[in-house]
Structure 1
């Protein structure tokens, strides 16, 4: 494990009430028609995937791996309008749940697959995020949502097909909040661990049933066994609008709102 020897802070409370951003808005976008699929794992299985100064966040002794397909719509700089064509795209990410030495909870991405080459190149260069270019398709037929992805790269064929049936809205459970009320991400870039804050309204959470799960994306980031078993957490959300702040060093706590 590559964690620093300093004494970590106690994790911040889990709350659906987003803190104010510590500075100006960097960009805004909407995340729509999102499905949460999660598998519980031993924290030691993924601790080595965390950036320095960050460790797996846990609930009842376990942490989670997420496979999350959705639509990004209307991305714009600051609070401005959407960038034409480039501002909307499909995405599927594989992610872990993190807490840094200041106690801030966040997300660590193992992969982010998207169908816009400019988005992939820009996010990799600017922030070191592990974006990959993919051919993707999303369809909705009534309450059934279908997400298809195939990585655009030479070598082995890497595909994902997910079908879920969305159900009634529910009150968020403790696990729903632990997985969805995340107000930043941790990433290693240019020799530093960065924390990129975001804020949005509470996720509207719906019941969901997995109809099809045929996925290679988890295996492509070194987690080959997860897709062979049923997810431990499944939910659907029609989406939220989010704003991102500018990156800060993960070891420097930012002032929080309220």
Structure 2
């Protein structure tokens, strides 16, 4: 991957990672057959990641009004292709209609429009998202960031240090590489008010306590899609 060939840049702020272990058969049929589930201790993992996207812009261009700054929620799992590890997204929701329509054009990525809010007051963060399509998928959280850094265990690194994603619009499997510095994570404590994300997986995320991590900021670069063979 040539570092000088990036196509788009974005800054992620106030990221919240939520992770749950699941039995591999639960999600196997929702992942393209070319991709192998990436397991940790024989478990697949579901991640729900919430963040602010800021300063989104193509290379050599200024930010596009209406698509530069937005909130996002994505639901993902971890996969491998020919020994390369990365991410597969079940859904990506944004409160920018233009950003969602652009990224989902031609089935490129499964973006959806959603109504979202983010607030921070006296150390507490409130985040809420409701998709605009039916049936609606919702997530609402209240949480605080703990001061001490995360332990950075092998599992925590495995869950978060991912530098490519795969998508399959039509019959083509594509890989997108990304680049950013390693994560500096903190723990959080809080409450899940509502969580009906990815109901087709048959998992009640509200009542299953996740591993939760927070990161303040990360600058990211995205590279051109690669057709896998």
* TM-score (ref. length: structure 2): 0.92
Q: Determine the structure 2 residue equivalent to 1:192.
A: 172
Q: 1:108 aligns with which of 88, 99, 118?
A: 88
Q: Determine the structure 1 residue equivalent to 2:207.
A: 229
Determine if contact 2:23/2:44 at 8 Å carries over to the other structure. Answer: yes
Structural mapping, 1:165-204, within 5 Å: 165-168=144-147, 169-204=149-184
- The CA RMSD measured in Å over matched residues stands at 1.8
Q: Separation in 1 of the partners of 2:2 and 2:220?
A: 11
Moved more, 60-69 or 82-91: 82-91
Q: 1:238 aligns with which of 199, 216, 221?
A: 216
Q: Determine the structure 1 residue equivalent to 2:46.
A: 65
Q: Separation in 1 of the partners of 2:36 and 2:92?
A: 20
Q: Determine the structure 1 residue equivalent to 2:100.
A: 120
Segments of 5+ residues of structure 1 without an aligned counterpart are: 1-19, 252-258
CA positional deviation for 1:157: 4.2
Q: Determine the structure 2 residue equivalent to 1:48.
A: 29
Q: 2:140 aligns with which of 161, 165, 168?
A: 161
Q: Separation in 1 of the partners of 2:145 and 2:198?
A: 23
Distance 1:182 1:157, change over 3 A: closer
Q: Separation in 2 of the partners of 1:176 and 1:112?
A: 22
Segments of 5+ residues of structure 2 without an aligned counterpart are: none
CA positional deviation for 1:213: 3.8
CA positional deviation for 1:22: 6.3
Determine if contact 1:21/1:197 at 8 Å carries over to the other structure. Answer: no
Distance 1:213 1:40, change over 3 A: farther
Which SS does the other structure have where 2:119 is aligned? strand
* TM-score (ref. length: structure 1): 0.82
Runs (4+) of structure 1 moved beyond 3 Å?
20-23, 155-158
Which SS does the other structure have where 2:222 is aligned? strand
Q: Determine the structure 2 residue equivalent to 1:217.
A: 197
Moved more, 80-89 or 143-152: 80-89
Determine if contact 1:23/1:246 at 8 Å carries over to the other structure. Answer: no
Work out the number of aligned pairs and report it.
Answer: 228
Determine if contact 2:196/2:206 at 8 Å carries over to the other structure. Answer: no
CA positional deviation for 1:42: 1.3
Moved more, 224-233 or 207-216: 224-233
1:149-207 deviations in whole A, cap 9, x for unaligned?
A: 11112x44432211221112224221211111111101101311111000101111001
Establish whether residue 38 from structure 1 lines up as the match of residue 16 from structure 2: no
Q: Determine the structure 2 residue equivalent to 1:131.
A: 111
Q: Separation in 2 of the partners of 1:52 and 1:223?
A: 17
CA positional deviation for 1:79: 6.0
